[in-house]
Structure 1
Amino acid sequence: MTSLNNLKENLINTFITHFNKSPEFIFQAPGRVNLIGEYTDCNEGFVLPCAINYGTQLVISKRNDSDINLVAFDYNNEKDHLNLKKDIQFEPNKMWANYIRGIIHLFHLKGYKIDGFDLVVGGNIPQGTGLSSSASLLVVVADAINTVFKCGLNKKEIALLAQEAENKFVGANVGIMDQYIIANGKEGLALKIDCRYLEEEDVNIPNDWNIVIFNTNKKREVADSEYNLRREQCEKAALFFDVSSLRDVTTFQFEEQKSLMDPLIAKRAQHVIYENERVLNAVDALRNSDMNKLSQLMYDSHESMKNDFEITCAEVDTMVDLIRESLGNEGGVRMTGAGFGGCVVSVMPKSLVPKVIDYVQENYEPKSGFKEDIYITEPKAGSCLIDSFSEEVIV
């Protein structure tokens, strides 16, 4: 996998090749992993993600006209062109460009004064694995346009604009977690995010613990359609309880009335309602360095995703079982992301990382038929300008 330092050089060289000039600015946005709190953000609940040391970078220079030229390094330098004087349309055969087009469309629609620019973008976040490569792309583009053209948005507003672009232009009905943590991540910290009020609390990861991501390499083939279906089912559950979202239903209220619900809707609601509680308890476990408690909470979360929300798959369950066999209650493990493939996240003492990796490498492929990838990650800061070659002062 290309390091971010090497990626930066590749993007600069590609920019020079395509535009016969050097870029003025370089921006970077991380990916993210969610430690616990799955499908709670779209129910206005609580989540506990952190930004990670894999990300998306772009190099950009302003133009003196209304033309916008885009190059996607990860797609064999495929190009896209648009003009700010014309309507910005969705391109069904060029999905990567729609994320950028959606951001540009919203800046234009909301009345911000932006001009043309040349841009090359690339990343090293494995795509389709639940580590938010698409949200990282949205946020880094929004941050770059906001900064370069001095639009004045703060990081929360950038996250909301990125979410709106994905909802309304790209057509994915996602919650706010991914964009928020990618814009607002902090070095060395996870964030407990209240997705209704967009309030955050820092949560320290103990220095002797590692966050390790295990990519099952099972592609998430039905994730988008199933994601939207789960949202609809949660909305039906909220309607049953006469609340705006499942965030407002306590476990006591749920247990009192679940027998009156449609059984499938009750299962979906049970996951979300108890998952919110698990997030809050996980924050306490991390703050108290209580690995036994965190281990049980993460495993309970996975079992709920498997049995109540039904978003795991055989390969993901196999990976979780192997890691749990190796760790016992000395570390936590669960699926992370929208489900139906992708990645598993584990929190464990650094001293146990080699043992667990060896066990997974020995057993996962024979059991699943897929070869895993493993990423030892660190909580990183959110989207930002990382280099400037312009004499212009950017604040």
Structure 2
Amino acid sequence: MTTLSNARVSELFEQYFDVAPSGCVKAPGRVNLIGEHTDYNGGFVLPAAINYHTYIAFAPRAERQLRVVAHNINQQIAFVDLDAQQAHDQDAPWNNYIRGVVQELRKAGFQLAGGDLYIAGDLQSGAGLSSSASLEMALIRALTSLSGESVEPTQAALIGQAAENHFVGCNCGIMDQLISARGQANAALLIDCQDLGVRTVPVPADWEILIVHSGVKRGLVDSEYNQRRLQCEQVARFFNQSSLRGVSLDQLLAAEQQLDELSFRRARHVLTENQRTLAAADALAAGDLTGLVKVMAESHASMRDDFNITTPAIDALVEILQKAGDGKAGARMTGGGFGGCVVAVAPAAVIAQLMVAVEAQYQQQTGCVPTLIRAIASPGAFS
């Protein structure tokens, strides 16, 4: 995968606009090590920001308008009036992220200022590495830099989430935006999605992260995602709670016969995943590889059997990684599901044998072509 830099994206800006940019910012994507579909249920997640980013080079312009160029989409251009009621762009869906962020910033009282923006990224779109949250955080940094306004990292994350929820139409939780904003070098963050508390969890110096894109394009993500969110909310309401965070696993198990089977299994995944995420954070901090391998395997099984968000190719990929690791590599699907990526955590010496196994076996077994991405835990946009 070709990586970009602030300097390279500044060059691209200058080539397009014939003037040097006044600044360039970046925001990372993320990989979630464990804690899937727990964030919008007020639970725990353990993501790490990664060393792949969305970059935005920018310069001011006199009009209260943004002129935005998308490098990765054949240099498509969009114009956004900062003072207008934002409307959806059916022809260029990427532009809805710009409009949604502008709408939410204005709602929050930011004045904003006109500018030319050139957006480029080295994050694989649709891979489950949160290119959308990365774009939102980079946009907020660029727009507030143009207007000379300040924004707190957690506030930026909440504004990005609101843009997705209220404008783009995806009912995402806070995890993606918060880790893109607040990620730390060489560490994951244990995030409590109920109160947005964050605990830094160091990654042992000789451990690495391997992300493998399955080659399965993520389908049905928004509709299936929103359906599962509704199922979880129904169970929370059954217990008179605002989210599943207020329900104990014992309470859920005791009520199994009173709930429909699907809703019960969805909630069981979330509540057991919260337990696994806390255990994984402790294992990572202690360098307890055996403990981490165990909970990552259990997490994948729960996503497969209770939450039903994996695919046969994803399951095959996880099995290849687990076997190749021989007890020394944790592996699970990561992201919203239905395709996308698998994440593995292992000592650096083991990562190479994982890559060899995937390249030798995965395409032969599934017909899908994998993309292997070695990643390191990296700083967030506002870190």
TM-score (normalised: structure 2): 0.97
Match of residue 52, structure 1, among 46, 50, 53: 50
Indicate the residue corresponding to 2:211 in structure 1.
Answer: 213
Question: Higher mean Cα deviation, 223-232 or 107-116?
Answer: 107-116
- Give the distance between the partners of 1:61 and 1:384, measured in 2 at CA: 20
Q: Is the Cα contact below 8 Å between 1:74 and 1:122 reproduced in 2?
A: yes
Indicate the residue corresponding to 2:2 in structure 1.
Answer: 2
Indicate the residue corresponding to 2:196 in structure 1.
Answer: 198
- Give the distance between the partners of 1:56 and 1:79, measured in 2 at CA: 17
- Give the distance between the partners of 2:349 and 2:324, measured in 1 at CA: 13
- Structure 1 position 10, deviation (Å): 4.4
Indicate the residue corresponding to 2:262 in structure 1.
Answer: 264
Match of residue 84, structure 1, among 76, 82, 86: 82
> Aligned-residue CA RMSD in angstroms?
1.3
Indicate the residue corresponding to 1:165 in structure 2.
Answer: 163
Indicate the residue corresponding to 1:62 in structure 2.
Answer: 60
Indicate the residue corresponding to 2:366 in structure 1.
Answer: 368
Match of residue 17, structure 2, among 9, 12, 19: 19
Indicate the residue corresponding to 1:29 in structure 2.
Answer: 27
Indicate the residue corresponding to 1:150 in structure 2.
Answer: 148
- Structure 1 position 151, deviation (Å): 2.4
Amino acid paired to 1:233: Q
SS of 1:95's partner is coil
SS of 1:329's partner is coil
Match of residue 104, structure 2, among 76, 81, 106: 106
Indicate the residue corresponding to 2:183 in structure 1.
Answer: 185
- Give the distance between the partners of 1:299 and 1:123, measured in 2 at CA: 31
- Structure 1 position 245, deviation (Å): 0.7
Q: For residues 61-92 of structure 1, give each alpha carbon's deviation from its aligned partner in whole angstroms, at most 9, with x where no partner exists.
A: 11122121000000111101122343322101
Match of residue 308, structure 1, among 287, 300, 306: 306
Amino acid paired to 1:348: A
Structure 2 gaps of 5+ residues are: none
- Structure 1 position 384, deviation (Å): 4.6
Indicate the residue corresponding to 2:350 in structure 1.
Answer: 352
SS of 1:345's partner is strand
Indicate the residue corresponding to 1:39 in structure 2.
Answer: 37
SS of 2:134's partner is helix
Match of residue 94, structure 2, among 93, 96, 102: 96
Runs of 4+ in 1 over 3 A off after TM superposition: none
Match of residue 285, structure 1, among 270, 283, 286: 283
- Structure 1 position 250, deviation (Å): 1.4
Amino acid paired to 1:3: T
Aligned residues: 383
Q: For residues 265-290 of structure 1, give each alpha carbon's deviation from its aligned partner in whole angstroms, at most 9, with x where no partner exists.
A: 10001000100011111111112211
Q: For residues 316-357 of structure 1, give each alpha carbon's deviation from its aligned partner in whole angstroms, at most 9, with x where no partner exists.
A: 001001011111321100000000000000001111111111
Indicate the residue corresponding to 2:120 in structure 1.
Answer: 122
Q: For residues 292-332 of structure 1, give each alpha carbon's deviation from its aligned partner in whole angstroms, at most 9, with x where no partner exists.
A: 11101000000000000000001100100101111132110
Q: Is the Cα contact below 8 Å between 1:155 and 1:183 reproduced in 2?
A: yes
Q: Is the Cα contact below 8 Å between 1:66 and 1:84 reproduced in 2?
A: yes
Question: Higher mean Cα deviation, 53-62 or 282-291?
Answer: 282-291
SS of 2:94's partner is helix
Indicate the residue corresponding to 1:230 in structure 2.
Answer: 228
Q: Is the Cα contact below 8 Å between 1:28 and 1:384 reproduced in 2?
A: no
